[in-house]
Amino acid sequence: MANSVTRSGFGLQRFRGENPVEQARFRLEASRLMVRQGNLDQARQLLGEALQFDPGLVEARLQLAWLTPDRGEREALLRQVLTLDPGHIQARAELERLQSLPAHPQAHRISGSRRWPWLAALLILTAGLMAATFLIVAPLESSLAWLLATPLPTSSPTPTRTPEEIAVQFVPQLETALANGNWDRALEIVEIMRGVAPTSPAIQQWAFMVYVRGGQALVQAGQVERAQIQFDQAVALRPDDAEARLWQQSTQLYRTGVAALQSGQWEVAIQSFTGVQERLPKYGDVSARLAEAYQRSGQAALEKKDWTRAIDMLTRAYQLAPQDLNTVNLLSAAYRQRGIAWEQQNKFKEARSDLEAALALRPDDAEAKAHLEKVMFELFPPKRIEIDISTQRFYAYEGEQLVYEFPTSTGLPGRDTATGHFHVLDKMPMAYSSIWNLKMPYWLGIYYVGNIENGIHALPIRPDGTVMWAGLLGQRASYGCVILSTEAAKIIYEWADIGTPVDIHY
């Protein structure tokens, strides 16, 4: 029979919170069952525990005396019984018998001629004692029953209970433990029940339920080694149960992942934890473990300058644990480094995307900011307009590159176009001057003279539809504005933005 005390490593001493008298009585009865089944060591252990719960339980102390092979220990136990119950007839009779025996075996050897009579007499005496004892305790059911304490006579015999009847006495305590979520206690109780009635279907049903649910609780508590034992026991009871096998296999996978994580086998760890998560998404801390595996793999790729793999692994880690600062920093660094690599290859669009991703994760990344500015300059070089009054030329630049150059007409002497640094204030497809009664296509306002705004525009149109200054481009002709041909003005109107710098000089 399986050892009910050591199967799961739990000690019965944990039950001291229960009713001690009830616990002691249960162990006394369970010890008698152990004697009937021939398990004397187990019986002695149960009696010792019964006395721990109730030191004054005379029946347990007397039965322990019968099961104790050491004469001195038996005498001590019998004296303890008489201390508790001075009138106990059985204890007094056995103690007197033991005290009447020689203190030590005879030191000298019996000669050959005297040996056999002694042996014969001893055998006859032993047989007589056994026969008498058998007659006294004949109601007991096994050949070892003479070792049990004979109960005092009662008015009516107590019916013998089956192992299952004894075991089910623990069901109320088990239900209490389950209701309180006390899985350690539940596992201890069910082990005792199985030890008393190992083949009972009802007890096996209780055990299976506690093994599965207790294992699940251990998983949530992070005790997967103990959980594995419980799931293994559940599967041993019901090999075809799908839930038990699912938890057993998932726990095995989880432990494989932990071992791989500890040994630096990131791919094995990722595969194992992914397998657990696919089977049981809420299994313990599997999400955190998987995030850690991805992070470690990404960090290793980062050290090898494999930016793409690093970003892939660290992105997965970030999705699982977005609050982990280490993951955030590593992912930002991976994006920044790949962005710099793209920049060096003149792949500015790709560089911009990665550098912006790095800054989204870490806005304070000065290195990413500096590189993004360079990339943006390449992608979107700053626009500026330059007007040279002395040469009557109009220039448009993107960065340092000249993109447009046109002849222009600025203000006549006395109506000079102002020099200085300005910028485009507003844009109008068609402006109108009430002072000059002129339409001015493709207007870009650049500065004010009192209440009047001067700007850049196409050749003005009179009320009769004729165009002014058409043949004068390239020389001073206007009332102060900067004049371009209609085609040039349309190009600049569409190219320039509000805020584009305008520099006018001689």
Identity (one letter) of the amino acid at 34?
M
Query: Model confidence over 362-372: pLDDT tens digits?
Result: 999 999 999 99
Query: CATH code for 383-505?
Result: 2.40.440.10
Neighbours of 466 (CB within 10 A): 10
HEC states along 185-254? HHHHHHHHHHHHCCCCHHHHHHHHHHHHHHHHHHHHCCCHHHHHHHHHHHHHHCCCCHHHHHHHHHHHHH
Query: Model confidence over 132-172: pLDDT tens digits?
Result: 443 333 333 333 333 344 444 444 455 667 888 888 888 99
Mean pLDDT (whole number) for 248-256 = 98
Cα 34 to Cα 134, 199, 213, distances in angstroms: 19, 15, 29
Structure tokens at 423: 């910028």
Between β-strands 426-433 and 420-423, what pairing exists: parallel, antiparallel or unpaired?
unpaired
**Looking at the predicted structure, is the pLDDT value of residue 123 above 60?**
no
pTM over 0.85: no
Name the residue ranges covered by the structural domains of the chain. 12-103+124-150, 170-373, 383-505
Asked whether this chain's domains 12-103+124-150 and 383-505 adopt the same fold, the reply is no
Between β-strands 383-388 and 393-398, what pairing exists: parallel, antiparallel or unpaired?
antiparallel
* Spatial distance between the Cα atoms of 56 and 364, rounded to a whole number of angstroms: 75
**Looking at the predicted structure, is the pLDDT value of residue 9 above 80?**
no
Which residues on neighbouring strands pair with residue 456, listed in sequence order? Answer: 444, 482
Q: Tell me, which fold does domain 12-103+124-150 have in CATH? A: 1.25.40
Helix (H) or strand (E) holding 454: strand 452-458
Q: Across the chain, what does the average pLDDT equal?
A: 86
The torsion of the CA quartet 328, 332, 333, 335, rounded to 10 degrees, works out to 140
**Looking at the predicted structure, is the pLDDT value of residue 424 above 60?**
yes
**Looking at the predicted structure, is the pLDDT value of residue 16 above 80?**
no
Provide CB contacts within 8 A for 503, sequence distance 6+: 384, 385, 386, 387, 421, 422
Tokens 């995307």 belong to 353
Q: Of 165-174, 264-273, 495-504, where does mean pLDDT reach its minimum?
A: 165-174
Long-range contacts from 365-372, C-beta under 8 angstroms, 24+ separation: 365/332, 365/336, 367/336, 368/332, 368/335, 368/336, 368/339, 371/336, 371/339, 371/340, 371/343, 372/339
pLDDT band at 18 (very low <50, low <70, confident <90, very high): low
Mean pLDDT (whole number) for 375-383 = 94
pLDDT at 166: 85
Query: Model confidence over 319-346: pLDDT tens digits?
Result: 999 999 999 999 999 999 999 999 999 9
* Spatial distance between the Cα atoms of 50 and 62, rounded to a whole number of angstroms: 12
* Spatial distance between the Cα atoms of 170 and 178, rounded to a whole number of angstroms: 12
Neighbours of 380 (CB within 10 A): 12
pLDDT at 22: 78
